[in-house]
Amino acid sequence: MYKLLGTDKKEYGPVSADQIQAWIAQGRANSHTQVQAIGSTEWKPLADFPEFAAALQKPADTTVSPATPSGAQPTGAPSKTSGLAVTSLVLGILGVLTCGLTSLVGLVLGIVALVRINKSQGQLRGQGLAMAGTIISAVFLLLVPFSAAMLLPALSKAKQKAMGISCMNNVKQLNLGLIMYSSDNKDQFPAGDVWCDALRPYLGGSTKAFICPLGASGQRCHYALNGRLAGSSMKEIQAPAQTVLVFEIDGGWNVSGGRERLPASPRHTGAYVVGFVDGHVEMVRPARLPQLRWEP
C-alpha cells in the first residue's frame, strides 16, 4: 500500500499498487509523483519504485499530471466559473428594475454558489462574483421596505386624484344631460323626484355617471339635484356660473335638496365635487360652501 502527494500538496491514500498503475495509465500520476510506501517515512519519486517501471514506460492516455483522489477531476485541469455566481450577480442587479423581486433569488443563488465553490477544491471559480451578487441582492432586499414606505403615499395620492377626476367627469355628464333636457323641455329642469329617471335617455341609458368611485356601495346614485332649481327655468337663474346644479350626496335615487344633503365628510381629499348651471365642475372645499348660490 502507498500514499501519494498531489500537486495540491495533499496526501492521498493509502491506495494499492493496482490503483497507482491505473492512475499512471490515465495520466494522473507520472515518474515525478512523490510516493511513500506504507511503513516508510521517506517520500520518493514514483520512478524509484521498480514495481511501477513497466507502467511508467507505457504512454499515458491523457496529459500527465500528479495524482488526485480516486473519482476526482485531475488537479491540473482548468477551473471554470460558477454559473450560479454569474446568475446571482445578474439577478441582484436586476433588482433595480424589479423592485427587489429578483434579488431574493439572487441572494439564494449567491450563497449556494459560494458553498459549491468552497467545496470544489479549486475546480470552480467566481467567488468574487458570488459575493458581489449576494451583497447586491441583500442590499436591494433591505431597501425594498424603505422604497415601499416612500412609494405608497405617492400611489395613494395618485389614486385619490384619479378617483376625483372620475367623479368630476360624472358630474360633467349629469350637468350636460340636465342642460340638454331643459333645452328639450322649454328651458325647464326636471322635477326633483324624477330627475334621475328623466336624465337616463340623455346618458345613453347608462347609469355609470350616477356612481361615484368612492361612494358607498349598494347605492344607485351618489349625486343630487339642487332642489331650488327642480322644475324651474334656466332663464330664471341670475348667475349660472355660481349657482349649484348637481352635487355629491351619500346616496339615493331621484334625490334633490340643498347643502344639508352633502356628505358629512368630503370624499375627495377634503373637497366636494359640485356642478354648476353653466356646465362647469369644481372641487369645492368646505370653507367655500357658504359662497355658493343655491337659489335661482
Cell numbers at residue 203, please? 346618458
Q: What superfamily does domain 2-57 belong to in CATH?
A: GYF domain (3.30.1490.40)
At 46, the amino acid letter reads L
Q: What are the tens digits of pLDDT across the range 162-218?
A: 899 999 999 999 999 999 999 999 999 999 999 999 999 999 888 999 999 999 999
Q: Percent of the chain, pLDDT > 90?
A: 44
Please state the domain extents for the chain.
Answer: 2-57, 80-151, 159-291
Distances (CA, A) of 39 to 1, 33, 42, 48, 63: 9, 18, 9, 16, 31
- The residues, ordered by sequence, that sit 6+ positions from 22 with a Cβ below 8 Å of its Cβ are none
Q: Based on the number of CB atoms within 10 Å of its own CB, is 205 exposed (0-12), middle (13-18) or buried (19 or more)?
A: exposed
pLDDT (tens digit, 9 = 90+) per residue, 220-233? 999 999 999 999 99
Residue corresponding to grid cell 498503475 = 21
- Return the number of other C-beta atoms located less than 10 Å from residue 64's C-beta: 18
Q: Is 35 exposed, middle or buried (0-12, 13-18, 19+ CB in 10 A)?
A: buried
Closest to 246 measured CA to CA, from 204, 197, 188, 189: 189
> Distance of alpha carbon 107 from its chain centroid, rounded?
16
Whole-angstrom distance, CA of residue 252 vs CA of residue 254: 7
* Confidence grade of residue 59 (pLDDT, cut at 50, 70, 90): low
Q: What is the DSSP letter of 118?
A: H
pTM for the full predicted model: 0.52
Kindly state the cell numbers that stand for 17: 499498487
Other beta carbons within 10 Å of 210 = 21
Nearest to 104 by CA among 139, 129, 131, 147: 139
Parallel, antiparallel, or unpaired for β 256-257 and 223-226? parallel
Is 62's pLDDT higher than 80?
A: no
Task: Name the band, by pLDDT with cuts 50, 70 and 90, for residue 66.
Answer: very low
Closest CA relative to residue 259, chosen from 221, 295, 234: 295
Look up residue 286 and give its DSSP letter. G
17-42, pLDDT tens digit by residue? 888 888 888 888 888 889 898 888 88
The pLDDT of residue 187 is 93
Grid cell locating 142: 433591505
Determine the Cα–Cα distance for residues 162 and 166; give it in Å rounded to an integer: 6
- The DSSP code for 289 is G
For the cut 60, the answer to whether the pLDDT of residue 6 exceeds it is yes
Name the 3-class secondary structure at 2.
strand
Sheet with 223-226: strands ordered across: 256-257, 223-226, 244-248, 272-276, 281-284
